[in-house]
Chain A
Amino acid sequence: MQPNTQTVSSVTPLMVCTDIEPIAAHDNRKTVGEISVDNPRMSCRNVNVFYGEKQAINRVNLDIGRHEVIAMIGPSGCGKSTFLRCLNRMNDTIDSCRVTGEILLDNQNIYDKTLDVVPLRAQVGMVFQKPNPFPKSIYENVAYGPRIHGLSSSKSDLDIIVESSLHRAGLWNEVKDRLDQPGTGLSGGQQQRLCIARTIAVSPEVILMDEPCSALDPIATAKIEELIDELREEYTIAIVTHSMQQAARISQRTAYFHLGDLIEVGETNQIFTNPQHKLTEDYITGRFG
C-alpha cells in the first residue's frame, strides 16, 4: 500500500498548535525502542501532521497492539493529542490540518479517500478530557450511537445494548433506577463513565482516551482506571495522560513524545524504571517539561 498524502480539510479550526518547532530543527531523531508489535490492531507509518506551515508531528512510526493499553506521554505541545486524534481522523475537523503517511486499522488505511469516517469513528471511539454527555437522558446517551449506526432492530435489542454497555462501564448499578434522567445530572466521574458506555455501545475495536481523568477526583479516577484495565480484555486502548503514575498503572506500553517526535516507546515498566533516551529520562523524572 502506498503512503497516503491526502490533505485533510474541514470546517472549524478547533486547535492550532503555535509552539511547535519546524521539522528542520529535529528531523534526524530516531525513535528508541521497538515500534512494532506482532499482529497489530493499528499500524502507523511515517505519520506527519501539519497545522498550516507548522509541523506538529514528525514521521511517527508506531504499532498499537490488540488488547493492549498504550499510554502516550510528553510535555504540553509535544503532539501526543494531535497524534491520538489522527487515529480516528478527528483532525479532519481542523481546517488547517494536513496529515500525511499511513495509518492502518486491521490493514485498512483509515485515510483512504473512499473510507467513510462515520463508521471509522464507531470502530475507533474517543473519550475526551472533559465528560461531554449529550443533553439527553442517560438511556438516550447510550442508545444514540447504536440507533444511528443501525446496530439494533428493536427496542428490546436497544435495551440490551444500553444495559450491557452501562454494565461494562461499571455504571449500571448506579443509574439503573434513573435511566430517564439527564446524563448531565450525574457526577463528573459518572458522566465520564457514561461517555465510555456511549463509546462502547457501538462495539468499537479501539478506544482513544485524551486525558480522561484530568477533570476527576482520585476516587472517580481510580474507577476509570479499573474500568480501563477491564476493557482491555475486549478492546485496544490508546490513552494520552499527563499523569506518569497513571500511565505506569494502567498501560502495558508507553510512548514518549517531544516536539512532535516519538522519542521512545517500550514496555511501560522499562520506560519508568530505565528509559533509554535522555529526553524521556529528563521528562519522567521532572527535570523539564
Chain B
Amino acid sequence: MNKMTEGHTVKRFDDEMVFLHRLVLEIGSLAQNQLKRAVQTLNDKDPSAARDVISRDQELNDLDVQADEEFINLIVKRQPMAKDLREIITISKAVSDLERVGDEARKIAQLTIHIYDTDSSPPNKQVLRDINTMAAFVGDMLKSSLIAFDELDAPKALDVIRLDSELEEEYKSALRRLTTFVMEDSRAIGHMVDVVLGLRALERIGGHAKNIAGYVIFLITGSDVRHESVECIEKQII
C-alpha cells in the first residue's frame, strides 16, 4: 500500500485499490517475462519455446480482461475522484499498454519460428545482434516504468521518457545497418523483413514503456504529458 491507495474512510476501498495496483505489477511482470523469453527463443534458436511464449500470451489477455472487470466494478461501487480517479485511469491505460507489450513479445516469438522452423538458412548473427541490444534497452525501460508506477517516482518516469528518444535513434541505426547488410548480400533479404518487424515490435515496446511513464506523471501531478516535450515535463514535476 502506498500514499495513493491508503487512508479511505471505507477500508474496503483501500483494499480494492491495492488489489488493482498489484494486478498492474503482476501483469507488468508477466509482460517483462514474455519479452525476455521471446528474445531468448531467438538466441536459443528454439521454435518450440517460441510456441510456448505465444500460447502464454493468453494469460496476459485474461488478466487484461480481469483488470477491466475490476475497474468497472470499482467505478460503479466507489465513483472515484481526484487522485483515486487518476490512479484508476492510469491503471486502466497501463494495463492496455502492458497487454500490447505481450502482443509485441509474441511477434518476436513468431520471428523465431519464421527463421528457425523453415527450410531456408537462418540469417547470420550480426543481423540479429540489434534485436538483442534493443530488447535489453526496452526491457530496462519497461522495468523502470513499472518501478516508477509502484514507487510513484516522477523523476524515474521522466528518465524513461528521455530514454525513448535514445531508443528512436537506436532503431533508426539498426534499420540503417540492416540496409547495409542487404546491399552487401542480397541473398539475406528473405529474413530481413522479419527482422525489421522484430525491431519494430521492440520499438513499440519502448513506446508502451514511455506511455506508462507518462501515465505515472499524470497520476502524480494531474498533468497530461503524453504530447509534451521533455523540457515541458521537467517543469511539471519540479
Binding site for B on A (CB under 8 A): 244-245, 248, 272-275, 280-282, 284-289
Contacts and interface: CB of A to CB of B under 8 A. Distances in A.
Interface string B68-80: 0000000000111
Given A273-B85, A273-B86, A273-B222, A287 B8 contact: yes
A111 B7 CA distance: 43
Nearest to A284: B81
A245 B9 contact: no
Contacts of B7: 282, 287
A-B pairs, top 9 by smallest CB distance, nearest first, are A274-B222, A284-B81, A287-B7, A285-B84, A286-B8, A285-B82, A281-B82, A272-B81, A286-B9
Contacts of B181: none
A79 to B, nearest CB: 21
A286 B13 contact: yes
Interface in B1-44: 7-10, 13
B7 to A, nearest CB: 5
B9 A274 contact: no
Interface string B201-238: 00000000000000000000011000000000000000
Contacts of B13: 286
Nearest to B80: A285
B220 to A, nearest CB: 11
A244 B80 CA distance: 10
A165 B213 CA distance: 54
10 contacts: A272-B82, A273-B82, A273-B86, A273-B222, A274-B86, A285-B80, A285-B81, A285-B82, A286-B10, A287-B9
B9 A275 contact: no
B9 A284 contact: no
Contacts of B80: 285
A78 to B, nearest CB: 16
A283 B219 CA distance: 18
Which label, helix, strand, loop or mixed, suits the secondary structure of the A interface? Answer: helix
Contacts of B85: 272-273
A287 B85 CA distance: 14
B214 to A, nearest CB: 16
A39 B78 CA distance: 38
A245 B83 contact: no
A286 to B, nearest CB: 5
B83 A281 contact: yes
A204 B83 CA distance: 38
A285 B85 CA distance: 9
Contacts of A275: 82
B237 to A, nearest CB: 14
Nearest to B6: A287
A237 to B, nearest CB: 22
Contacts of B86: 273-274
A244 B81 contact: yes
B83 A244 contact: no
A285 B8 contact: yes
A285 to B, nearest CB: 5
B119 to A, nearest CB: 58
A218 to B, nearest CB: 14
A199 B226 CA distance: 48
Nearest to B221: A274
Interface in B177-215: none
Nearest to B222: A274
A284 B79 contact: no
Nearest to A270: B222
A288 B9 contact: yes
Given A286-B10, A286-B13, 15 more contacts: A244-B79, A248-B81, A272-B81, A273-B81, A273-B82, A273-B85, A275-B82, A281-B82, A281-B83, A282-B7, A285-B8, A285-B80, A285-B82, A286-B8, A286-B78
Contacts of A273: 81-82, 85-86, 222
Contacts of A286: 8-10, 13, 78, 81
Contacts of A274: 82, 86, 222-223
Contacts of B9: 286-289
User: Of residues B8, B82, B85, which shows the largest number of chain A Cβ atoms within 10 Å of its Cβ?
Assistant: B82
B11 to A, nearest CB: 11
Contacts of A244: 79, 81
Nearest to A288: B9
A281 B86 CA distance: 12
Contacts of A282: 7
A60 to B, nearest CB: 23
Interface string B136-158: 00000000000000000000000
A272 B85 CA distance: 9
A281 B3 CA distance: 12
Contacts of B83: 281, 285
